Every structure is written in structure tokens, then in C-alpha cells.
Amino acid sequence: MPAIVVVGAQWGDEGKGKITDLLAEHGDAVVRFQGGNNAGHTIVRGDEEWKLHLIPSGILYPGKRCVIGNGVVIDPRVLIDELDALRARRVDVGGLRISANAHLIMPYHLLLDSAGEAKLGKLQIGTTRRGIGPCYADKAARLGIRVQDLLDEKILKKKIVAAMEPKRLSLRPFEKDPALDLRTMTEEYLIFGHRLEQHIADTSKLMWEMLENDELVILEGAQGAMLDIDHGTYPFVTSSNPLAGAACVGTGIGPKAIEEVWGISKAYTTRVGAGPFPSELHDEMGETIRERGGEFGTTTGRPRRTGWLDLVALRYAARLNTMTALVVTKLDVLSGLDRINVCTSYRGAEGAEFEDFPYHQTVLHHSEAELTELPGWKEDLGECRTLSDLPQGARDYLDFVAEHTGAPVALIGVGPGREQVIWTEAGQQTLIGAAAARSTPV
């Protein structure tokens, strides 16, 4: 069992943090491979709550390796704040390793993100305004500043000049911003470098060594398949690839190292920001789901758009990721509904039915969800720990989802607590496989 990838199978916010946290208990390392602090995980441990944006959730286990891979874009200020907050709560952060090749979010990226959205006006994407898009744009334009540059003052200064120069025009309204002063910025980033130095490493080599030793590596995706810059609902997407395939490039390992791909989906759908969402609910039911599910962003606090589970999109995500198992989170939120709808196909503007996710944006933008009605269940699920504890309606719902997605359900979330999960046989088999490979008991 070399590596297992955990990815979002919807538009992000599926509850990957909790699942990664559960798997991390049995793993040796947790690794981030894309995105930045646009992501946010809330992990609940007893009475304590942890909100992490950049640091992999495995950090809460003493002695576990946590890696921020080269594919991640890092706002060093946010990373240092997160490290300080963890230290203040007596969490040992000594196991964190940061790729020297990861790109840095600079003050001008934040300004460009907001300016870009303002310019788009009504057409705006609804980004998290964390500078993610502009940072990845600089990476592709070969104007990026990398973590390793923090360790060399001369190079850092040269690179900042080169990166800022072409942006002068767009940054004109901000030119007097003290954060854009070359000296101030260089000095500040050099200090960040000193603070992070002990964690900077050749993480691709580290990963290779761990895999060679048969250690269990958990690769933690951020966002979700439908926000993928290549395969998602472009341009209403993030600027990276939240798909399992990106776990290789974003960490520097080969595809053969990956054995399992777990796709995480809520029992319904949510989306933050603009863009198509065929199964969206604009009525009271949508509001009920938002309230019951606490559907407000961890990163920006924005209310999330809500809708029925979209099986067309989920099937697409299963295909894009070669998903080996599905995790269904927040099933408890649907308790008490007489009937539950799921989207099983799309109806295009001209009446055509689409069972596969349409490749053309015009078709998608005009698609409406064709719904299949399933019986609901009344019981509270918070105490269920095995499949047989679940009411028949909930079990039928899961069977329907698994059959239409083509992946077995490995794990089910029935409440926010760490223990509020049900491991199915498929999920347990993965853990047993992992333990056997490492010759340690589960």
C-alpha cells in the first residue's frame, strides 16, 4: 500500500479534512499537492476544534510527517501564523517539511486577485481572494518566486523586481501600498525564510524514500474535481488541478506509487462562488440544507449554494480520478426528509437528455437537473456506527449512489465528531491492506 489519494469529488468542501485525519492515524505521512490557503479544513477532536488552511491535517499526530508539496502555492505569512497558532496549543510541528520548489504568494498576487475580480464585475468568479490564480499565473509565466528563493537575498530581490515590473499597469491603483515597496517586501520575505528554513527540504526525495520503505503516504487534495482548471466548470474553477493525477506532479512521485483513490462527496451538493450548478436548490429546501449542514465557508465565511446530490457530476469525478472508493459525508443532514431527490441526468435547453457530463459549456450552462425521487428516513444517524445501524432508507440511498457512481462506499459520515463515521467492508479492507504492508496492526 504505497500511497492513497484523498480528493474532493464535487466543488470542494466535501469534508476531506476529517477523512484525511481518520486515515492519517494509520498512515506515516500526510502530503498536500495543490492549491493553497483557499482551502480550509475544520477538524473536531473531542471539545477541541482546529482550523487549518495550509498545513496538512496529519500535524495533529505527534511524530507524523507532514509535507507541503511543490504543487502547492504558499502564502508564507499564513503558513507562519498557522505554525505559531499550533505551537501555542502545544502541537509539535517539527515533522513539517516544505518543498523548496513550491511557489510563494506575494503581496501583489493578493492585490491582483481582488483587482481581477473587481474588473470582471458581474462576471466575477467569486475567488477566495487569497492570490491563488495570480500566483499560479506567475508560475506558468516563469516569473514565480519559490520557497528556495527565500534563502538567497540577491536572487530574491532580482526575482521580485522581474515579477513586479510587468504588473505595474494593473497595480497602478495600489502603487502607494507600502506592501509593494521592494525593500520592505524583500526584508519581510527574508524574515519569513529564516522562520521557515528548518522545514524546507527536497520533499520529492523524501517521498521517494518513504515509498521505498513501504510507508503509507496519504496525499490530501484541496478543492474538488469540478473546480479543476482543465476538467472543471471553466472559467469558474480554481487555478490548479484538484484531481488524483495531480498528486504525482504536485509532489514529485510517479503514478505507479498510487494504489487507492478515495473520492469524497457530501450526501448532497454545495458550491461557493459563481458558475453552473444544475442541481441547485433556490427554495426553502436549499435553505434547510444550508442551515442543517452549517454550509458556510471555512475560509471566507460565505454562505454556500446548496442542491441535491448530482450523480452526473459525481460519475464524471469518479472517471477523472479513477476512484477506487467513495466516501459519503454528512448523510445525517438529510435525516427527517420525506423524500430525497438525486440528479441522475441533465436536460439541455433543446430537450436532449445527458447522462454524461457535457463537455460544452453552453450545454452545461443551460442544463437542468432531471431528478429521481427516493424515500427518505426519519431517524437521527448520529449514533450509527455500522451499516446495519442505518435505517433502510439511508442504506438504499447509499446503494443507489454507489451503483450510479461505479465506486464502492468505503466510509460514511454521520456527524461532525471524529467517531461519527461508519467504515464499510471496502473501507476496512483498505486499512487492513495498509497495515499489512507496514506490518502494524490496525
Q: Which is nearer to ligand IMP, 127 or 430 (CB)?
A: 127
115 binds ligand IMP (CB under 6 A): no
272 binds ligand IMP (CB under 6 A): yes
Cα 178 to Cα 157: distance, rounded to the nearest angstrom? 16
Q: For the purposes of burial, counting CB atoms within 10 Å of the CB of 314, is it exposed (0-12), middle (13-18) or buried (19 or more)?
A: buried
Assigned C-alpha cell, 164 = 513586479
Among 68, 132, 145, 402, binds ligand IMP (CB under 6 A): 132
Put residue 353 in one of left, alpha, beta given phi > 0 → left and psi -120 to 50 → alpha.
beta
Among 130, 231, 290, 315, binds ligand IMP (CB under 6 A): 130
Give yes or no for a contact between 328 and 409, defined as CB atoms under 8 angstroms apart: yes
Q: Which region among 87-95, 100-108, 120-128, 377-385 touches ligand IMP (by CB under 6 A)?
A: 120-128
Q: In angstroms, what is the minimal distance from the CB of 317 to ligand IMP? A: 14
Q: For the purposes of burial, counting CB atoms within 10 Å of the CB of 63, is it exposed (0-12), middle (13-18) or buried (19 or more)?
A: exposed
Q: Which is nearer to ligand IMP, 75 or 370 (CB)?
A: 75
Q: Name the residue number minimizing CB distance to ligand IMP.
A: 273
Q: Which region among 8-16, 85-93, 169-177, 245-253 touches ligand IMP (by CB under 6 A)?
A: 8-16
Put residue 415 in one of left, alpha, beta given phi > 0 → left and psi -120 to 50 → alpha.
left
What's the start-to-end Cα distance of the chain, in Å? 14
Q: In angstroms, what is the minimal distance from the CB of 112 to ligand IMP? A: 11
Give yes or no for a contact between 67 and 253, defined as CB atoms under 8 angstroms apart: no
> What 3-state DSSP class applies to 158?
helix
Among 203, 238, 269, 430, binds ligand IMP (CB under 6 A): 238
18 binds ligand IMP (CB under 6 A): no
Q: For the purposes of burial, counting CB atoms within 10 Å of the CB of 391, is it exposed (0-12), middle (13-18) or buried (19 or more)?
A: middle
Q: Which is nearer to ligand IMP, 40 or 252 (CB)?
A: 40
127 binds ligand IMP (CB under 6 A): yes
233 binds ligand IMP (CB under 6 A): no
Among 128, 186, 329, 420, binds ligand IMP (CB under 6 A): 128
Contacts of 326 (CB under 8 A, 6+ apart): 9, 262, 263, 264, 265, 314, 318, 401, 402, 405, 407, 408, 409, 410
Among 71, 273, 278, 286, binds ligand IMP (CB under 6 A): 273
Residues serving a catalytic function are 13, 41
Binding mask of the shown chain, residues 186 to 225, with x at each position contacting ligand IMP by CB under 6 A: ------------------------------------xx--
Give yes or no for a contact between 44 and 36, defined as CB atoms under 8 angstroms apart: no
DSSP state of 316: H
Rg (CA), the chain: 22
420 binds ligand IMP (CB under 6 A): no
148 binds ligand IMP (CB under 6 A): no
Q: In angstroms, what is the minimal distance from the CB of 124 to ligand IMP? A: 9
Give yes or no for a contact between 196 and 147, defined as CB atoms under 8 angstroms apart: yes
Give yes or no for a contact between 387 and 422, defined as CB atoms under 8 angstroms apart: yes
Q: In angstroms, what is the minimal distance from the CB of 348 to ligand IMP? A: 24
| Cα angle 427, 432, 433; round to 5 | 95
Cα 111 to Cα 102: distance, rounded to the nearest angstrom? 20
241 binds ligand IMP (CB under 6 A): no
Q: In angstroms, what is the minimal distance from the CB of 210 to ligand IMP? A: 26
Among 1, 2, 5, 13, binds ligand IMP (CB under 6 A): 13
Amino acid at 387: L
Among 39, 86, 248, 314, binds ligand IMP (CB under 6 A): 39
Positions in the binding site for ligand IMP (CB under 6 A): 11-13, 38-39, 125-128, 130, 132-133, 222-223, 227, 236, 238-239, 272-273
